[in-house]
């Protein structure tokens, strides 16, 4: 699904997937409340509050290297202006935008103008068959972050991006993508296989949804969204960063 498809139908369909994510999580919490009622009445109040809360919940204890202080993204570089990029590895427009923004991001980072934060979300899980590729790919990317190769791995995943409505890359292909990205440590394959970052991907996606991010790619500068759907996304980003830095 391309973010340039800005019709109401496109927006509504992705937002509905985000709402489903929250409904599934709330249903699980409501089920836990029923268990708490049996185990101990003192826990019912807490369970009911959480069941009615549409927020992201508690962050997982295990997060990849380079995670932000709130654990909702991965931080690269350190500068006065914050740039947040929300991407989904099944989103064709994310692939195109990443390629368009790469030269500008390289310059802004070299000049120490920005703090860059990536948020690998899984909004398009229902757009692969079987469902779940967005989460699987983002979890593998988190494993790549542990190896110091998140951005290189992301680039390879976008180069190998499967079509929507079809199968995603297999586990073996995700591991092979790591080798193409320059990852040589055998622990990467183990990480992809064990997938310890699935809860983190869910958390990152839920935080994004709670912040009213429902389409990818979304780019913000100091919290303000930047339109990257035009003919020159790089110029749009550079202009927004320059304005924010004044």
Domain boundaries, the chain: 8-244
Mean per-residue pLDDT of the chain: 84
Q: Look at residue 15 and tell me whether its pLDDT is greater than 50.
A: yes
Q: What would the pLDDT profile of 80-97 be if each residue is shown by its tens digit?
A: 999 999 999 999 999 999
User: Cα(246)–Cα(236) distance, rounded to whole angstroms?
Assistant: 16
Report H helices in the chain.
8-39, 44-51, 92-110, 133-146, 150-159, 171-180, 187-194, 198-210, 233-244
Segment 101-121 mean pLDDT:
97
User: Cα(41)–Cα(43) distance, rounded to whole angstroms?
Assistant: 5
Cis peptide before 203 (omega within 30 of 0): no
Architecture label for domain 8-244? 3-Layer(aba) Sandwich (3.40)
Single pTM value for the model: 0.81
User: Cα(214)–Cα(3) distance, rounded to whole angstroms?
Assistant: 10
Backbone angles phi, psi at 48, to 5 degrees: -65, -40
pLDDT of residue 213: 93
Q: What would the pLDDT profile of 151-201 be if each residue is shown by its tens digit?
A: 999 999 999 999 999 999 999 999 999 999 999 999 999 999 999 999 999
Which positions ≥6 away from 214 have C-beta within 8 Å?
A: 11, 14, 15, 18, 123
């Amino acid at each position: 699904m391309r973010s340039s498809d800005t019709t109401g139908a496109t927006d509504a369909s992705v937002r509905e997937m985000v709402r489903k994510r929250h409904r599934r999580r709330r249903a699980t919490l409501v089920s836990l409340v029923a268990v708490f009622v049996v185990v101990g009445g003192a826990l019912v109040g807490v369970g009911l509050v959480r069941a009615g809360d549409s927020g992201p919940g508690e962050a997982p204890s295990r997060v990849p290297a380079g995670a932000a202080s709130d654990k909702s993204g991965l931080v690269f570089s350190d500068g006065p202006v914050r740039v947040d990029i929300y991407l989904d590895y099944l989103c064709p427009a994310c692939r195109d935008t990443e390629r368009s923004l790469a030269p500008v991001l390289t310059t802004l980072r070299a000049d120490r103008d920005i703090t860059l934060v990536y948020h690998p979300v899984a909004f398009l899980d229902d757009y692969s068959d079987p469902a779940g590729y967005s989460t699987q790919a983002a979890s593998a990317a988190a494993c790549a972050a542990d190896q110091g190769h998140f951005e290189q791995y992301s680039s390879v995943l976008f180069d190998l991006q499967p079509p929507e409505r079809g199968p995603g890359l297999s586990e073996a292909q995700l591991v092979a993508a790591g080798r193409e990205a320059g990852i040589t440590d055998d622990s990467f394959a183990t990480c992809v296989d064990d997938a310890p970052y699935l809860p983190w991907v869910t958390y990152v996606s839920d935080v994004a949804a709670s912040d009213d991010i429902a389409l990818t790619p979304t780019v913000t500068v100091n919290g303000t969204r930047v339109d990257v759907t035009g003919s020159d996304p790089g110029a749009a980003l550079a202009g927004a960063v320059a304005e924010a830095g004044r």
